[in-house]
A and B are shown apart, each in its own frame.
Chain A
């Protein structure tokens, strides 16, 4: 079946502009996670959704970052007034969710964001 998809695959933006990154999780997965991967680094947690609610936003680095999820499916990560340090690969993952006896998270291909 279809995996996690993300768009765009690449985004180049000028410093100070806003960007929106989109994630389509695997159908039926109620849990959705955003991570960030800086060049040559490990993955850093940003935010977790269960359904449309975000019980854990602890990884968002500043108030310029926000995310929403609608219909228990698609999620959008928005970065306002982008800075050069925001350049990274933004990865989305989904899982069946709590109570489903499944911890497995499946990742999308990521969006490579470059802020010039």
Chain B
């Protein structure tokens, strides 16, 4: 089955700097890669996703890139703000198992004012 590795586990940046979080996956059949933001005491919030027929997707300050050959994908946040501080999870769908998501272990992002 699918396995997703995520790093770094913690990331601290200064406000205004960029942040990059990277994930790798194992199953070449996976075709959907979402990113979630989880604030303390809340459920994960879908912030951006990418499908395997696309190499890059942007939404304002966030972007995701996908390299199918290398089986890795990354989240890029530019011009970080203190409200970006949260735990971020990457995931890949288990294509042959009803689309359940396999998650990475999470990255705790801290943006210092």
Please list the residues of chain A having a beta carbon within 8 angstroms of any beta carbon in chain B. 4, 31, 33, 35, 41-45, 48, 50, 55-56, 58-59, 91, 95, 98, 103-110
Contacts and interface: CB of A to CB of B under 8 A. Distances in A.
Nearest to A59: B100
A43 B97 contact: no
Given A104-B34, A105-B34, A45 B102 contact: yes
A56 B98 contact: yes
Interface of B: 6, 32, 34, 36, 42-46, 49, 51, 89, 91, 93, 97-106
Contacts of B101: 33, 35, 43, 45, 105
B97 A104 contact: no
A42 B99 contact: no
Given A108-B43, A109-B42, 9 more contacts: A31-B98, A42-B104, A44-B103, A50-B98, A56-B97, A56-B98, A106-B46, A107-B36, A107-B44
B100 A56 contact: yes
Contacts of A103: 32, 34, 49, 51, 93, 99
Contacts of A56: 97-98, 100
Most interface-central of B49, B91, B103 (chain A CB within 10 A): B103
A108 B36 CA distance: 13
A46 to B, nearest CB: 9
Contacts of A109: 42-43
B97 A107 contact: no
A42 B106 contact: yes
Contacts of B91: 43
A110 B49 contact: no
Nearest to B102: A45
A110 B89 contact: no
